[in-house]
Structure 1
């Protein structure tokens, strides 16, 4: 029981929902540089995508027309931009959320393009499965 309580509190919505760290980091995420950032990230560490914690389930901009396989979700590195999850406790909540989504959309679109051609990425074929 002593282990269960800290574990449960770690994933509690009350803990995660109040993380507004993107508010202070957004100047590091220039939308116009997102494609170049994705290319550099791909060259440095391989395939990784960006999710935006803006609800009960993080948004994954750029993946609206791609079938999310277990490989893409579980075997791929995902960085998270925290904009307050399912609350609006962050100051100026809408602007950081829109900024995070715009940046991650451009980043993810470029990363998807690079990942599809990667011989090292195990889930490359899964990115070909488009939803219509």
Structure 2
């Protein structure tokens, strides 16, 4: 009985903090980033494989996520089981297409462009990462292909 009341008090306290956080930082602060709209000319789909190879050679393994919903899309990873190493110990660049706000101009075109580019980039990078001796998660990519 005591633990039930104690748990309820803790939960209420945490809820107050979460509600305060939401009021201080509305979702638009996190979701209204449409920066890909201004950067899309730098991400030419036909150059994505070359860009991945150059990126691998200069900064090592990094992947591209697309902020197009509540959680980012990770194109090219549909056939790979995500592990903590791949998600947390790998550099992820994000192409912001409005996340869940949908307020960017040409939202659908932006999202299609970002996903197409990142899919090609990520698939090339996965191939390079699987063979890399320096990448800590190479075994995860090797062992977890479906």
Deviation at 1:14, TM superposition (A): 2.2
Secondary structure of 2:92's counterpart equals: strand
Tell me, in whole angstroms, the C-alpha distance in 2 between the residues paired with 1:74 and 1:102.
23
Normalised to the residue count of structure 2, the TM-score between the two structures is 0.82
Aligned length: 126
Aligned to 1:111: 125
Secondary structure of 1:81's counterpart equals: strand
After superposition, residues 1-132 of structure 1 pair within 5 angstroms as: 9=25, 13-128=27-142, 129-131=144-146
Deviation at 1:130, TM superposition (A): 1.9
Deviation at 1:88, TM superposition (A): 1.2
Normalised to the residue count of structure 1, the TM-score between the two structures is 0.90
Tell me, in whole angstroms, the C-alpha distance in 1 between the residues paired with 2:119 and 2:90.
17
**1:41-60 Cα deviation digits (max 9, x unpaired):** 00000000000000000000
Secondary structure of 2:80's counterpart equals: coil
Deviation at 1:16, TM superposition (A): 1.6
Deviation at 1:87, TM superposition (A): 1.6
Tell me, in whole angstroms, the C-alpha distance in 2 between the residues paired with 1:65 and 1:13.
31
Gaps of 5+ in 2: 1-16
Q: Which has the higher contact order (CA 8 A, sep 6+)?
A: 1
Q: Which has the higher helix share?
A: 2
Moved over 3 A (4+): none
